[in-house]
Amino acid sequence: MSDNLPEVPEQPIARTGMFGTSGTGDTSGYGGLVVRRPAPVSSPRPYGSYFDEIVDGLDHEGVERVVVDRGELTIHVAREHLVEVMKKLRDDPALRFELSLGVSGVHYPHETGSELRAVYHLCSITHNRRVRVECSTPDADRHIPSTVSVYPTHNWHERETYDFFGIIFDGHPGLTRIEMPDDWEGHPQRKDYPLGGIPVEYRGAEIPAPDQRRSYA
């Protein structure tokens, strides 16, 4: 694992908005939210529970950092080692994460160089354990290796993550949009995607911007 880990900021990160907004009808989260403390950048050993066994069993150079937060284990993996790590998680008898619960995307526009992440939720039926794997990529180079060869059900999940976040999964057998129309511009779950004022194609209507929507408060 890399020793060059960024430090956790001492002061809380505060962003206001979300459901506590007042004066507008915006309950979409457009204004952000309040974060009391940032999530830990990396966690010290011992991790607790069965987490140490998983990390020790993995023991791969592709592991960048390990985070234990709210009783959940997240392993951050470098994209060039992602497929190898996923195969080991699936095939090693001591790990045996034979079931994937899906792939999702996250967009952190303020994290320069790792703005986009693919998140994999794995379950070991053999050992009754769970682990989350995260793989980051810069917005300027939105490529992550496809893991369809390891978990075939990732076919549709990677397509959805591409559709909504724009992450390109190299080696995917057919990386096309799965929910938005083929000619749709942009990726609507990114945080820089405009909210409101977008024509609704099948009705010819238009969604108002968040601060112009009707408030039911």
* Ranges assigned E (strand) in 148-216: 168-170, 199-200, 205-206
Distance of CA 165 to the CA centre of its chain: 10
Whole-number Cα distances in Å, 150 to 56, 98, 156, 176, 212: 21, 10, 14, 20, 46
Predicted TM-score (pTM) above 0.85: no
Q: Is the pLDDT of residue 61 over 90?
A: no
More confident residue, 12 or 212: 212
pLDDT single digits (tens) 156-206: 999 999 999 999 999 999 999 999 988 888 999 998 887 766 666 556 677
Q: Give me the percent of the chain exceeding a pLDDT of 90.
A: 62
Q: How far, in Å, CA of 160 to CA of 187, rounded?
A: 10
pLDDT single digits (tens) 64-79: 999 999 899 999 999 9
Which pLDDT does position 7 carry in this prediction?
46
Q: Decide: residue 214, CB within 10 A, 0-12 exposed, 13-18 middle, 19+ buried.
A: exposed
Mean pLDDT over residues 73-97, rounded? Answer: 97
Mean pLDDT over residues 132-140, rounded? Answer: 97
Which CATH code of 3.30.420.40, 3.30.460.80, 3.20.20.80, 3.40.718.10 fits the domain covering 40-194?
3.30.460.80
What are the sequence ranges of the domains in the chain?
40-194
Which pLDDT does position 193 carry in this prediction?
86
Per the prediction, the chain carries an average pLDDT of 84
